[in-house]
């Protein structure tokens, strides 16, 4: 089976949902982003060719379990729930969930104001989980974060809860919306692998260690998040 023996194959398959800039998106027909570059480093370390499988974010855990993909690099937040289903690498990025609203809205100034409101999220994300905890809120799940943002702009929903970095991208491209100062949660991203694939997990952690030691992590960080 393809994911069982990473030594003898020349292609390693990374699963992602490329609707999450600057971690992963499609530009000019190419997969680009921080996670894509990290995945290339992992493939390089293994001496393999990287193949990217783009799918719904909510399908990624199952794709790992069925060995459709070897690892997932998708700005995926480490959660205890997911850690029961897949193994996570060391954390490689710490961030927050933020609230996006329309600039001309005058009812939502903080998290408390989301009570009873319509909140848009990307399906299967921690943003969805957090939003479902908000009292009396109606949570609308979309396939992609930008679809939630479009519905916010159109006035179909009152707010969007999403990860900070993609939120910054969406806001930079849309002068009708803004990010509230108050953040919802702090989370850490990690790469996920099948529970069976201890070896790949170790390699990924080694790659992270090397990237930190040789300064390449900082180079990548500045490429995508630097001012
Ligand atoms: N960090 C959030 C989570 O793990 C959202 C990640 C969405 N990633 C993506 N590539 N669409 O639930």
> Atom of ligand 1 at shortest distance to CA of 77?
4
Binding pocket residue ranges, ligand 1, CB within 6 Å: 16-17, 19-20, 24, 57, 74-77, 122, 125-126, 163
Domains 11-93+187-225 and 96-185 share a fold: yes
In the chain the first and final C-alpha atoms are separated, in Å, by 44
> Atom of ligand 1 at shortest distance to CA of 128?
12
Q: Which residues of 12-30 are buried (b: 16+ CB within 10 A; e: fewer)?
A: bbbbbbbbbbbbbbeeeee
Q: What is the largest CA-CA distance in the chain?
A: 59
pLDDT at 4: 55
pLDDT at 32: 98
Backbone angles phi, psi at 67, to 5 degrees: 65, 30
The tens-digit pLDDT sequence of the chain (227 residues) is 555 554 555 999 999 999 999 999 999 999 999 999 999 999 999 999 999 999 999 999 999 999 999 999 999 999 999 999 999 999 999 999 999 999 999 999 999 999 999 999 999 999 999 999 999 999 999 999 999 999 999 999 999 999 999 999 999 999 999 999 999 999 999 999 999 999 999 999 999 999 999 999 999 999 999 97
What separation in Å is there between the alpha carbon of 69 and the centre of ligand 1? 17
Radius of gyration of the chain (CA): 18
What separation in Å is there between the alpha carbon of 197 and the centre of ligand 1? 22
Structure tokens belonging to residue 76: 């995926």
Q: How far from chain centre, in Å, is Cα 108?
A: 25
Query: 11-93+187-225, what's its fold?
Result: D-Maltodextrin-Binding Protein; domain 2 (3.40.190)
Side-chain half-sphere exposure of 194, counting CA atoms within 13 A? 20
Answer yes or no: is the ipTM higher than 0.85.
yes
pLDDT at 154: 96
Q: Which of 189, 187, 163, 203 is nearest to 70 (CA)?
A: 203
Q: Classify 96-185 by CATH class.
A: alpha beta
What separation in Å is there between the alpha carbon of 75 and the centre of ligand 1? 5
Which SS3 state, helix, strand or coil, does residue 173 take?
A: coil
Please give the C-alpha separations between residue 221 and each of 38, 102, 189, in angstroms, as whole numbers: 11, 29, 14
Side-chain half-sphere exposure of 180, counting CA atoms within 13 A? 25
The residue whose two tokens read 């998290």 is 111
What separation in Å is there between the alpha carbon of 8 and the centre of ligand 1? 31
The domain locations on the chain are 11-93+187-225, 96-185
pLDDT at 8: 54
């Amino acid at each position: 089976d393809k994911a069982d023996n990473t030594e003898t194959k020349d292609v390693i398959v990374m699963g992602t949902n490329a609707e999450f800039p600057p971690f992963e998106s499609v530009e000019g027909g190419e997969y680009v982003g921080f996670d894509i570059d990290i995945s290339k480093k992992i493939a390089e370390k293994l001496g393999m060719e990287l193949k990217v499988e783009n799918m719904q974010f909510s399908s990624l855990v199952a794709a790992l379990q069925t060995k459709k993909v070897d690892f997932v690099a998708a700005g995926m937040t480490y959660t205890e729930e997911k850690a029961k289903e897949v193994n996570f690498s060391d954390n490689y990025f710490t961030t927050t969930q933020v609230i996006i609203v329309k600039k001309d809205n005058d009812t939502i100034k903080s998290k408390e104001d989301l009570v009873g409101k319509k909140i848009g999220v990307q399906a299967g994300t921690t943003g969805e989980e957090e939003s479902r905890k908000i009292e009396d809120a109606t949570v609308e799940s979309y396939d992609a974060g930008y679809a939630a943002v479009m519905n916010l702009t159109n006035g179909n929903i009152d707010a969007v809860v999403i990860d900070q970095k993609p939120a910054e991208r969406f806001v930079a491209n849309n002068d009708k919306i803004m990010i509230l100062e108050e953040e919802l949660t702090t989370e850490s991203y990690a790469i996920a692998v099948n529970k069976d694939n201890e070896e790949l997990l170790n390699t990924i952690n080694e790659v992270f260690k090397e990237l930190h030691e040789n300064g390449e992590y900082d180079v990548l960080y500045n490429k995508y998040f630097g001012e």
